[in-house]
Structure 1
Amino acid sequence: MIMIKVGIIGCGSIGVKRHIAEYSKLENVELVAFCDLVKERAEAQQEIYGGKVYEDYTELLADESVEAVSVCTPNYKHAEISIAALEAGKHVLCEKPMGITLDEMDRMIEAEKKSGKQLMVGHNQRLIKEHQVARDYIAEGRLGRIYSFRTAFGHGGPEGWSVDGKDSWFFKKDQAVMGAMGDLGVHKADLIRYILDEEVVDVGGFISKEAKEFSDVDDNAVCILRTESNVIGTLQASWAFYGEEDNSTVIYGDKGVLNLLDDPEYSFIFTSSTGEVVRENYGGIQTNDDEGQSKKSFVMEAFIDALVKDERVPVTAEDAKKSVEIILNAFESDRTNKIITEE
């Protein structure tokens, strides 16, 4: 059996509850190194899984036993660490958003090409069955001509689950750069591109910081998107949904409608214009509550599976960059009061 030896860079909530938790369930993975600026967090994982502990990620990258790393750090460090890891000969799974500027994302892509290793970005939305079946329905023409959509991702904010609560890097402009839009909006930008299998060409963004006085970053946003085939729709990202988490997407076509993660009982509902109704529950998606954490996100499994089989990772850096571009264009639209058109 091929084993992939993995190091974790960043042992906060995402690193522990998502990456380490899922890697630990995979038979092809050996967790061999943990790194965090707060050494005790890395040591806590060492006590469970063994391996080595580092405070400096460059020392972990110098560890020849590490074959692949997960980058689970504040947003502003994603590019720096991912590039260094690729240059050190490691495969990389980077948390979203992939980067915070076009230039640094281009440098990440170039580093991957030069390294001969793989760089994957952790967009789990496109990997769950509800969204994969939806993409198939659309490709098969079961919805007919798609003309609109609405997609939303909102919850009460990272203070409810982050290891540092309200003091988390998520709320600090110099570390996060983007708030709800970088945390949640980029997921939905990626999902719409994936489900429709086309690019977004026009973006209008309305982005605010009203809900959290302790935060330096955006906490609520509504965007209007237009795709290359003239499908128009809305994308909402919010850390101000103080109630049930909303992770829903609705796709409208002239032959039917898809409701995805939009119903408490059925995670997939297709209603055709002729009255046919298909209701399925494929298991839904991970959430940040304790029950939701037990669900598979498939990201780590997909990453390792690609490495073991020597296949291309399912979420490439080139692809992920396009999703971040939508978010950056939304910020530019909000700043200039203009629709931003992708050239």
Structure 2
Amino acid sequence: MSKLKVAVIGCGSIAKNRHLPEYVNNKDVEIVAVCDIVAERAKEFADLYKATAYTRYEELLANPSIDAVSVCTPNYLHAPISIAAFQAGKHVLCEKPMATSRSDAENMIKAAQENDKKLMIAHNQRFVPSHQKARQLIENGEVGKIYSFRTTFGHGGPEGWSADGAESWFFKKEQAFIGAMGDLGVHKTDLLRFILDEEFVEVGAFIETSAKSNADVDDTAVCVLKTESGIIGTLAASWSYVSKEDNSTIIYGENAILRLEDDPVNSLVVQYKSGEVVKYELGGIQTNDSGGQTNTQVIDQFVNAIIQDVEPAVLGEEGMKSLQIVLSALESSETKQIVSL
């Protein structure tokens, strides 16, 4: 079978550290094009991967030989570029958050269906081994009834990671729309939905801009969430964790407490009611400090879905539900009301 011809639109840090290296490592893929509005950046990656450089995504999408694209642009462009890609007959892997409004997310899903193409959202936390194992333990009843949880994702902010540093689009409302909640919080809304295998029905949130003087988006958020069966817990997303990144989740159940990515060595620690403690060394979560050496599995899952013609691992509908919780949290913070989903 001939290789899948892919293009990456947006050559910032997520493309550089995740999408491009993971496409290169997939034997079924050939990177044929890259696009960035910064011509030097596009050329740099085109040279590196022996691909064609574009500065306008419309021109890239007009290339009939391209089968699939990764959309790695600022948030506000996710929907328009994805929809244009579907209309040009391409499959799309879109970075999170998938869009900046529910209607945009719905239009992306619709465009994928109308053009009979795959849409996958790059929610990589679902593929982290500790998260997969926790979902399994809950699913098979080992943890018993789940009572509550707390999850957090925080680091020092995008300036340490983004290609544009302190000038990054992440800090600009017209390009990012949401700050830490869109960058980090949406990872956790998606992860909780995945692990608990339940939808959230109510959200309350306090969302502030307290740490970044150069931002007109949120940089610190704390949310309280409730699922359909009554599991309640907190979600914190922040760019104000000035020292070590925190990407941990703790789940409190009837028979055990699950500590995920909370211990530097054991990615999952299960503390049973009986006093027994089981530690799993499953390999860590991808961090911005790991230099992109870990495989997030996102690319492999996306490529496999196209080649095998199966549903992608993270559907557009899933991305939309995880986005909706973030949008509702913003609404809650503004209205000072609990928002029902």
TM range (shorter): over 0.9
**Match of residue 21 from structure 1:** 21
* 1:141 and 2:141 are equivalent in the alignment: yes
SS at the partner of 2:80? helix
**Match of residue 110 from structure 1:** 110
Q: Which 10-residue stretch deviates more, 75-84 or 305-314? A: 305-314
**Match of residue 46 from structure 2:** 46
* Contact 1:189 1:327 (8 Å CA) reproduced: yes
Whole-angstrom distance in 2 between the partners of 1:254 and 1:102: 35
**Match of residue 301 from structure 2:** 302
Q: Residue by residue, what CA displacement relative to the aligned partner does 1:224-247 show, whole Å, maximum 9, x if unpaired?
A: 000000000000000000011000
Kindly report the root-mean-square deviation, in angstroms, between the aligned alpha carbons of the 2 structures. Answer: 0.8
SS at the partner of 2:159? helix
Structure 2: runs of 5 or more not aligned = none
Structure 1: runs of 5 or more not aligned = none
Whole-angstrom distance in 2 between the partners of 1:201 and 1:161: 33
Whole-angstrom distance in 2 between the partners of 1:258 and 1:250: 6
Q: How far 1:51 moved relative to its partner?
A: 1.8
Whole-angstrom distance in 2 between the partners of 1:109 and 1:49: 30
Q: How far 1:333 moved relative to its partner?
A: 0.3
Whole-angstrom distance in 2 between the partners of 1:126 and 1:280: 17
- The code of the aligned residue for 2:121 comes to V
* Contact 2:267 2:284 (8 Å CA) reproduced: yes
**Match of residue 314 from structure 2:** 315
Q: Residue by residue, what CA displacement relative to the aligned partner does 1:155-177 show, whole Å, maximum 9, x if unpaired?
A: 00000121111101000010001
- The code of the aligned residue for 1:118 comes to K
| Equivalent residues in 2 for 1:160-239, closer than 5 Å | 160-239=160-239
Q: How far 1:2 moved relative to its partner?
A: 4.7
Q: Residue by residue, what CA displacement relative to the aligned partner does 1:61-100 show, whole Å, maximum 9, x if unpaired?
A: 0101110000000000000000000111000000000011
- The code of the aligned residue for 2:308 comes to K
Whole-angstrom distance in 2 between the partners of 1:341 and 1:49: 47
Residues 270, 2 of structure 1: alpha-carbon distance in 2 compared, 3 angstrom cutoff: farther
**Match of residue 127 from structure 1:** 127
SS at the partner of 1:293? coil
**Match of residue 9 from structure 1:** 9
**Match of residue 35 from structure 1:** 35
- The code of the aligned residue for 2:270 comes to F
* Contact 1:206 1:223 (8 Å CA) reproduced: yes
Whole-angstrom distance in 1 between the partners of 2:187 and 2:2: 31
* Contact 2:17 2:291 (8 Å CA) reproduced: no
* Contact 1:200 1:225 (8 Å CA) reproduced: yes
SS at the partner of 2:245? coil
Identical columns (%): 54
Q: How far 1:292 moved relative to its partner?
A: 4.6
Q: Residue by residue, what CA displacement relative to the aligned partner does 1:291-330 show, whole Å, maximum 9, x if unpaired?
A: 3521111111111111111111000001110000000000
The number of aligned residues is 341
Q: Which 10-residue stretch deviates more, 234-243 or 126-135? A: 126-135
- The code of the aligned residue for 2:57 comes to Y
Q: How far 1:276 moved relative to its partner?
A: 2.3
SS at the partner of 1:294? coil
SS at the partner of 2:11? coil
* Contact 2:329 2:339 (8 Å CA) reproduced: yes
Q: Residue by residue, what CA displacement relative to the aligned partner does 1:232-276 show, whole Å, maximum 9, x if unpaired?
A: 000000000001100000010010010000001100111111122
**Match of residue 269 from structure 1:** 269
Whole-angstrom distance in 1 between the partners of 2:215 and 2:21: 29
Moved over 4 A (4+): none
Whole-angstrom distance in 2 between the partners of 1:337 and 1:161: 32
- The code of the aligned residue for 2:144 comes to G
- The code of the aligned residue for 1:50 comes to K
Whole-angstrom distance in 1 between the partners of 2:226 and 2:120: 26
- The code of the aligned residue for 1:146 comes to I
Q: Residue by residue, what CA displacement relative to the aligned partner does 1:33-55 show, whole Å, maximum 9, x if unpaired?
A: 01000011111111111121111
Whole-angstrom distance in 1 between the partners of 2:74 and 2:198: 30
SS at the partner of 1:60? helix
Q: How far 1:217 moved relative to its partner?
A: 0.8
| Equivalent residues in 2 for 1:68-83, closer than 5 Å | 68-83=68-83
Whole-angstrom distance in 1 between the partners of 2:197 and 2:304: 23
Whole-angstrom distance in 2 between the partners of 1:65 and 1:39: 22
* Contact 1:285 1:292 (8 Å CA) reproduced: no
Q: How far 1:120 moved relative to its partner?
A: 0.4
Residues 141, 292 of structure 1: alpha-carbon distance in 2 compared, 3 angstrom cutoff: farther
* Contact 1:2 1:308 (8 Å CA) reproduced: no
Whole-angstrom distance in 1 between the partners of 2:295 and 2:109: 28
- The code of the aligned residue for 1:332 comes to E
Residues 32, 163 of structure 1: alpha-carbon distance in 2 compared, 3 angstrom cutoff: same
SS at the partner of 1:11? coil
Whole-angstrom distance in 1 between the partners of 2:2 and 2:158: 36
- The code of the aligned residue for 2:322 comes to S
